[in-house]
Structure 1
Amino acid sequence: MSQDALSTLLSERDWLLADGATGTTLFNMGLTSGDAPEMWNVDHPDRVRALYQGPVDAGSDIFLTNSFGGTASRLKLHNAQDRVGELNRIAAELGREVADKAGRTVIVAGSMGPTGEIMEPMGPLSFDAAVEMFHEQAEALKAGGVDVLWVETISSPDEYKAAARAAALADMPWCGTMSFDTAGRTMMGVTSAAMAKLVETLPNPPIGFGANCGVGASDLLRTILGFKQTGTERPVIAKGNAGIPKYVHGHIHYDGTPELMADYAVMARDCGARIIGGCCGTTPEHLVAMREALETRAPGAAPALERIAETLGAFSSTSDGTDDKGPAPRERRGRRRG
């Protein structure tokens, strides 16, 4: 079987630049709160093409499709649960169109966000139902021509496993990130060390895994260091928010400047991330600065936590969640399941 496009690119390059924020960009184009962004794939295809073109022009090697809320459970909120196939396929087709005109290899990653439902036993969503929803979305993204599936902003290990199973059923390579936003853990209590371990227990591990969104860029980099401390050799993904959200005049603004995101990108690389992008608040302007910094600043040693906080802002919690349960991640390594 020929190697997938993302693995090929990773074998040729030390780092890859991912894209920025889908939501921020769409809101800037006129999407209103409460609307389903996925509807724009059909209603405003030119705006979605422009969404994709931004990161391509800024030098991104990867961009995510406008399909984050594309599962039946999320689309049901807009009475569009029967349009999963159409909305995801078109999100991918528009992406393929933009990537194929780029004049270089650009990876189209099919975004798959959380179902929005709580998994059993705490909630009503069964594992099989989650797999079925993700699989329906995955097949549509595949049909539209994505290179890789990109599972993101997950907080539950079971939901992560369900998405992995769906990728296997669709016979697609995939990447998967979790969102660490509660004292270094995901909302469901997963630490960076636990995620690195989880990934290796999957029958079809992702090409790359990591963290996206969460609190600020500082917290995200601490999580990246947590992954690397486990000794993982799998490519690590860092997609941090552009600074910290501030509520101004009824809107959420992120205070991260292009200069701050350039520092973040270089530090993410030095922390060990191979795929580096931005999440909420990150615009093409930020991406241009990130690319330039990655290309012009020499690689260095992993930054100390003090330096991360000094450069990117204070951590939101004193702990990254890995230090309060049993031995340190490094000591746990020998017992990892083979």
Structure 2
Amino acid sequence: MDLLSKLLSERDWLLADGATGTNLFNMGLSSGEPPEFWNTEKPENILKLYKAAVDAGSDLFLTNSFGGNAARLKLHQAQGRVHELNKVAAELGREVADKAGRPVVVAGSVGPTGEIFEPMGTMTHELAVEIFTEQMEGLKAGGADVAWIETMSAFEEYAAAAEAASAVSLPWAGTMSFDTAGRTMMGITSADLAKRVEAMVTPPLAFGANCGVGASDLMRTVLGFAATGTTRPLIAKGNAGIPKYHEGHIHYDGTPELMGEYAVLARDAGVKIIGGCCGTMPEHLASMRHALETRPKGSLPTAEEIQAKLGAFSSASDGTDGNGPEKRERRRRG
């Protein structure tokens, strides 16, 4: 049994990590600079990133490989470095996890290509599978426990990445990013995803949502998953509040206390893997861990409870009622 499956079978919940980009920007990463280059140029910073999550209590952390596919790296003339950069990302993760003194999952982060699929765009299923397979081969060679497909907007891309994980014999988990009105950029709702993963040839170990707007919107998406009656483990990786522009920098307004509330609400909604996305720092993770360990399990939260504790939803619709825009602007993970 792979480590993630083992921990899911033994534990009521697992704490995932926080933001990759936000933490690396705080270490000096420049806007437009590929974070993946730091795997070889500044490995000490990537080790620090991983270790900070583990020290804060994370049972699972994502590798610094979100944009490590050929389509994204081609923008920086680095498409020939896919295997190298992903392998090193996982090797650094393996180093930290193996020294943790407890089981910690190294999850190989696999983000979108940035391309639009046919017929609206030019990306084909076959090419996407090829691109993701190359990336996952590097992650597996470096020692990743699981492929972590994330921040997807189109189910076609989600499915292509899943096929690649099967091709390299990596177990996988996957999240999509649901924007305002409860839909992904390509119109997928929480109910759509819950239904579609069950029809996959190799379904995920766990599925869910990451990024999007704030923690309250993400929790409403979680309620949408739960409403389908799915028994598959759920993932929630919400942003630490809402981004605000302050003195030349983007700052997320979610406090550690708010993220602690979010973590408890997610657990009470049946989520098994709980983490943060954009803006989530080690202090947020530590607060989440403390809240999960010290506060008793509660009943399924209502939409009203979520808004009272995390703030108002950004739209009246959660997408599952057929209302709201079907296509939103593409975004990257924190």
Alpha-carbon deviation of 1:250? 2.0
Pairing partner for 1:121 from 119, 122, 125: 119
TM-score by length of 2: 0.96
1:49-198 map, 5 Å: 49-198=47-196
Aligned-residue RMSD, C-alpha: 0.7
Alpha-carbon deviation of 1:248? 1.2
- Please give the per-residue CA displacement for 1:229-269, whole angstroms capped at 9, x wherever unaligned: 11110000000000011111221110000000000000010
**Does the 8 Å contact 2:162/2:202 carry over to 1?**
yes
**Does the 8 Å contact 2:180/2:217 carry over to 1?**
no
Unmatched segments (≥5 aa) in structure 2: 324-334
1:238-277 map, 5 Å: 238-277=236-275
1:217-236 map, 5 Å: 217-236=215-234
Alpha-carbon deviation of 1:182? 3.1
**Does the 8 Å contact 1:176/1:208 carry over to 2?**
yes
* Aligned match of 2:19: 21
Describe the SS at the equivalent of 2:164. Answer: helix
Alpha-carbon deviation of 1:324? 2.2
* Aligned match of 2:329: none
Letter in 2 for 1:179: S
Describe the SS at the equivalent of 2:17. Answer: coil
* Aligned match of 1:315: 313
Write the distance in 2 (CA, Å) between the matches of 1:73 and 1:207. 26
Calculate percent identity across the aligned residue pairs.
Answer: 70
Alpha-carbon deviation of 1:173? 0.2
* Aligned match of 1:278: 276
Describe the SS at the equivalent of 1:109. Answer: strand
Write the distance in 2 (CA, Å) between the matches of 1:123 and 1:303. 40
Letter in 1 for 2:222: I
Alpha-carbon deviation of 1:303? 1.1
Write the distance in 2 (CA, Å) between the matches of 1:283 and 1:319. 30
Write the distance in 1 (CA, Å) between the matches of 2:322 and 2:22. 36
Write the distance in 2 (CA, Å) between the matches of 1:78 and 1:324. 40
Describe the SS at the equivalent of 1:158. Answer: helix
What is the aligned residue count? 323
Pairing partner for 1:297 from 285, 295, 298: 295
Alpha-carbon deviation of 1:323? 1.1
**Does the 8 Å contact 1:225/1:272 carry over to 2?**
no
1:209-220 map, 5 Å: 209-220=207-218
* Aligned match of 1:207: 205
Describe the SS at the equivalent of 2:46. Answer: helix
- Please give the per-residue CA displacement for 1:200-228, whole angstroms capped at 9, x wherever unaligned: 11100000000000000000000001001
Describe the SS at the equivalent of 1:124. Answer: coil
Write the distance in 2 (CA, Å) between the matches of 1:292 and 1:137. 35
Unmatched segments (≥5 aa) in structure 1: 326-338
**Does the 8 Å contact 1:184/1:219 carry over to 2?**
yes
- Please give the per-residue CA displacement for 1:93-128, whole angstroms capped at 9, x wherever unaligned: 000000000000000000000001111111011110
Write the distance in 2 (CA, Å) between the matches of 1:324 and 1:259. 34
Letter in 2 for 1:127: H
Displaced runs of 4+ in structure 1, greater than 6 A?
none
Write the distance in 2 (CA, Å) between the matches of 1:91 and 1:37. 10
Describe the SS at the equivalent of 1:247. Answer: strand
Describe the SS at the equivalent of 2:271. Answer: coil
Letter in 1 for 2:14: L
